[in-house]
Amino acid sequence: MPYTYNTPAQQEEMLQAIGADSVDQLFDVIPDSMKLDRPLNIPPALGELELTSHMQELARQNTNITENTCFLGAGSYDHFVPAVVDTLAARGEFYTSYTPYQPEVSQGNLQVMFEYQTLICQLTGMDVSNASLYDGGSAAVEAMLMAISITRRNSKIIVLESVHPEYRQIIKTYFATIGTKVVTVSDASDLQSVLDQSTAAVLVQSPNFFGGIEDIQTVAEQVHEAGALLVCSIDPISLGLLKRPGDAGVDIVVAEGQSLGTPLLYGGPYLGIMACREEFVRRLPGRLAGQTVDEDGKRCWVLTLQTREQHIRREKATSNICTNQGLFALRAAIYLSVMGPTGMRDVATLCLQKAHYAQQKLTQLDRFESIGDQPFFKEFVIRDKQNDIAGLLRKAADFNLLAGVDLGRWYPQLEDCLLVAVTEKRTIHEIDQLVEVLGS
């Protein structure tokens, strides 16, 4: 019992004050028939030293990306995390506090939320951001639910096939129980044939799952003509260069915020970003910090528009979300602050240039060809003419290269295709090595 203080003598005193003979007696309210009459069948306790060596053993059985060169992406990216992010987020006053229900002793967290919301608006060009959701995928589904609530159209939503396959699976799961029809179209040019007055929203991802940049503005016009809303899932890093979704007519922006200062963490916890146009703020799920003044007229921040939330509205709430990803919103706020406008521009430019260099080098090899001619950002698809992605990945692994993501696991027609991500962390030497190994 490493984390409790009271001595047996103190416990005795406490029992006396309570008027109980024993700790067991405090559990008398639980009928004996319900009590567990044996110890839990879990391994015995480990001290800190033993735990450390046990965990070291488990950690050693994993290949981590600091010992390998990572070209894996598909929604989770190996971007540079400045030391200030880790240092600040490790402060106990941040990570051992909770939701700021008492604003007088939570101004730190509330101001961080307010700054995060502002930074996300500046980055995306949207009017309002919430204080975070779980991850990019659940943010996408929450946005579609929100669009249904705004448009009051609950019979149909449309999702592009180039949206992250796992996000599409989440949408399928959620809407299966509600009964809204989810129509999937292969690309934006097919939208016209399925868009109609019963459509609540269209979900587009840009850069899409294959790395390609979509013409969001044109899609937005089409979608709005049908009276539907456009939900766009974006890569926040790309907004160092690409047109902001708020400037392109998007109604609700969602994103996986992991790229903004969070390591890979085997997929989570990450950061669900969601921002929308001003007029939808009362349908926005999740927490919001707002500016106000205190009794003495001093500027301060509080949780606001709480009537949207489950603890007040219960079965009529816009969402059931309670705990969010505060710590990762903090990381994103620190990251965006330290990067600034030029840092974001530089990261995006490095990603773009390096990805294009890698793509050009790889497709110059006889074995590979590119598919499609869509402009791309930091990720691209190559087709292996020998149709042996598994073999390629194994070979690359021998050289400590994580070469890319096998697309066949989601798209049977792309079983000979590899998705390669190149971030600002990759050097020309590492890219050349990848080309050499895959080409040999």
User: Which parts of 148-187 interact with other proteins (CB under 8 A)?
Assistant: 164, 166-167, 169-170, 172-174, 176-179
Instruction: Indicate which single residue of 148, 195, 302, 418 sits in contact with other proteins (rule: CB under 8 A).
Output: 302
Q: Which of residues 184-203 bind other proteins (CB under 8 A)?
A: none
Nearest approach, Cβ of residue 440 and other proteins (Å): 20
Helix (H) or strand (E) holding 343: helix 326-364
Token output for 416:
């000979």
Token output for 352:
């773009």
Q: Is 243 helix (H, G, I), strand (E, B) or coil?
A: coil
Helix (H) or strand (E) holding 199: strand 199-206
Please say which residue, 18 or 225, places its beta carbon nearer to other proteins: 18
- Is residue 94 at the binding interface for other proteins, with CB under 8 A as the rule? yes
Q: Which of residues 214-243 bind other proteins (CB under 8 A)?
A: 215, 217, 239-243
Nearest approach, Cβ of residue 57 and other proteins (Å): 7
Instruction: Indicate which single residue of 193, 197, 315, 366 sits in contact with other proteins (rule: CB under 8 A).
Output: 315
Q: Bridge-partner residues for 232, per DSSP?
A: 204, 253
Number of residues that bind other proteins (CB under 8 A): 207
Instruction: Indicate which single residue of 155, 181, 225, 375 sits in contact with other proteins (rule: CB under 8 A).
Output: 375
Q: Give the alpha-carbon dihedral of 324, 327, 330, 336, to 10 degrees.
A: -90
Please say which residue, 193 or 266, places its beta carbon nearer to other proteins: 266
Q: Which of residues 319-338 bind other proteins (CB under 8 A)?
A: 319-328, 330, 333-334, 336-338
Intra-chain end-to-end CA distance of the chain, in Å: 57
Using the rule CB under 8 A, give the single segment among 62-70, 188-196, 219-227, 378-386 that binds other proteins: 62-70
Nearest approach, Cβ of residue 84 and other proteins (Å): 6
- Is residue 343 at the binding interface for other proteins, with CB under 8 A as the rule? yes
Token output for 197:
């007055």
Do 295 and 284 form a contact (C-beta atoms < 8 A)?
Answer: no
Nearest approach, Cβ of residue 226 and other proteins (Å): 20
Distance CA 401, CA 19 (A): 66
Using the rule CB under 8 A, give the single segment among 182-190, 354-362, 363-371, 381-389 that binds other proteins: 354-362
How distant is the alpha carbon of residue 90 from its chain centre?
Answer: 20
Do 135 and 270 form a contact (C-beta atoms < 8 A)?
Answer: yes
- Is residue 420 at the binding interface for other proteins, with CB under 8 A as the rule? no
Using the rule CB under 8 A, give the single segment among 55-63, 154-162, 182-190, 381-389 that binds other proteins: 55-63
- Is residue 249 at the binding interface for other proteins, with CB under 8 A as the rule? no
Site of tokens 């179209």: 185
Instruction: Indicate which single residue of 149, 154, 182, 268 sits in contact with other proteins (rule: CB under 8 A).
Output: 268
Helix (H) or strand (E) holding 404: none
Distance CA 3, CA 6 (A): 10
Nearest approach, Cβ of residue 125 and other proteins (Å): 8
Nearest approach, Cβ of residue 399 and other proteins (Å): 14
Q: Is 81 helix (H, G, I), strand (E, B) or coil?
A: coil
Site of tokens 């030391």: 83
Reported in sequence order, the residue ranges of 278-416 that DSSP labels E, i.e. its strands, are 289-293, 299-303, 368-370, 379-384, 401-402, 405-406
- Is residue 341 at the binding interface for other proteins, with CB under 8 A as the rule? yes
- The interface mask with other proteins, positions 101-140, x = CB under 8 A, is xxxxxxxxx-xxxxx-xxx-xxx---xxx-xx-xxxxx--
Nearest approach, Cβ of residue 198 and other proteins (Å): 19
Do 336 and 146 form a contact (C-beta atoms < 8 A)?
Answer: no
